[in-house]
Amino acid sequence: MRKKVTVVGAGNVGATAAMRVAEKELADVVLLDVLEGVPAGKALDLAEAAPIEGHDCRIVGCTNQYQEAEGSDIVIITAGIPRKPGMSRDDLLSTNMRIMRTVVSEVAAVAPKSILIIVSNPLDAMCHVAYEASGFPKERVIGMAGVLDSARFRAFIAMELNVSVENIHAFVLGGHGDTMVPISRYSTVAGIPITELISPDRLAAIEKRTREGGAEIVGLLKTGSAYYAPASGAVEMTEAILKDKKKILACAAYLSGEYGIKDLFVGVPVKLGARGVEDIIEIKLNEGERKALNHSAESVRKLVEDMKRLG
């Protein structure tokens, strides 16, 4: 049986994710959007690349026809508006909250067994909306942010040391915002802690660049935000689930007391497999790291409360 992945939002992140899913031959893809023509056009364009890229995944695009998503194994949700220069992720809150609610209700009706990978910002808050609107168990609602933030951290470490990105393991925990927490102590280059290879000053600069990684790209692009790496992040999670890899990745997961945090989506290391979040890995944090994680979680909680006020 072929696997099926639906991508809602055929914009920059969504279309790139659809392309990567197909080119990695992970699943057939349905690309959905509110726009007329755009999802169908992008899907057709991708299907026409298939003979050159050498894959047989079927890609279809449609406008608001959620029946096409029926039976999806995974639904990646990128629907929403992206950040513009000077705009914080939180500014997106009220618009994207309403979009997320509509999209997830439609998805849950046709693909009740699917696993949701949420990408739209503000990420952690959107996971809450998706969790509530879907009624899915917490294991099947997962936010993509930590994979991207960790990839940025890894890329910057590789640039600093002029070594292969493949040698680098790094974690960024917390909410997907300015309060995210790069955990240098658990980040390694071929098993060697980066704290032994990079001076504290340089490391602080790399952590800062990681925290501001999204804004750096928004500032350069001027219109819209990053999408190649975010799409890669969503597809790495998709692959881990479809192939039941039991891969440990930093993802926004619903915490029920882990890390001392309750009833909140926050970025932590999780084990991703066929059932979605199969485990939450609790790593030991020192006082500074724990404080930073709590601070980050509090900023997520504030957004969740703001959403309640917005209704």
Give the residues lining the site for ligand NAD (CB under 6 A).
8-14, 33-35, 78-83, 92, 96, 99, 102-103, 119-121, 123, 144-145, 148, 176, 224-227, 230
Rounded Cα distance between 298 and 304, Å, is 10
Rounded Cα distance between 270 and 30, Å, is 27
Q: Which member of 55, 128, 169, 176 is catalytic?
A: 176
Cβ of residue 180: shortest distance to ligand NAD, in angstroms?
A: 10
Rounded Cα distance between 124 and 293, Å, is 14
Q: With respect to ligand NAD, which residue has the nearer C-beta, 91 or 160? A: 91
Q: With respect to ligand NAD, which residue has the nearer C-beta, 47 or 62? A: 62
Cβ of residue 191: shortest distance to ligand NAD, in angstroms?
A: 28
Q: Are 5 and 75 in contact (CB under 8 A)?
A: yes
One-letter identity of residue 133: A
Neighbours of 68 (CB within 10 A): 18
Cβ of residue 150: shortest distance to ligand NAD, in angstroms?
A: 11
Q: Is 169 a catalytic residue?
A: no
Cβ of residue 197: shortest distance to ligand NAD, in angstroms?
A: 27
Q: Are 109 and 141 in contact (CB under 8 A)?
A: no
Rounded Cα distance between 250 and 253, Å, is 9
The dihedral over CA atoms of 225, 229, 233, 234, expressed in degrees to the nearest 10, equals 50
Q: With respect to ligand NAD, which residue has the nearer C-beta, 10 or 206? A: 10
Residue with the CB atom nearest ligand NAD in the bound state = 11
Q: With respect to ligand NAD, which residue has the nearer C-beta, 119 or 264? A: 119
Would you please indicate which residues are annotated as catalytic (active-site) residues?
A: 176
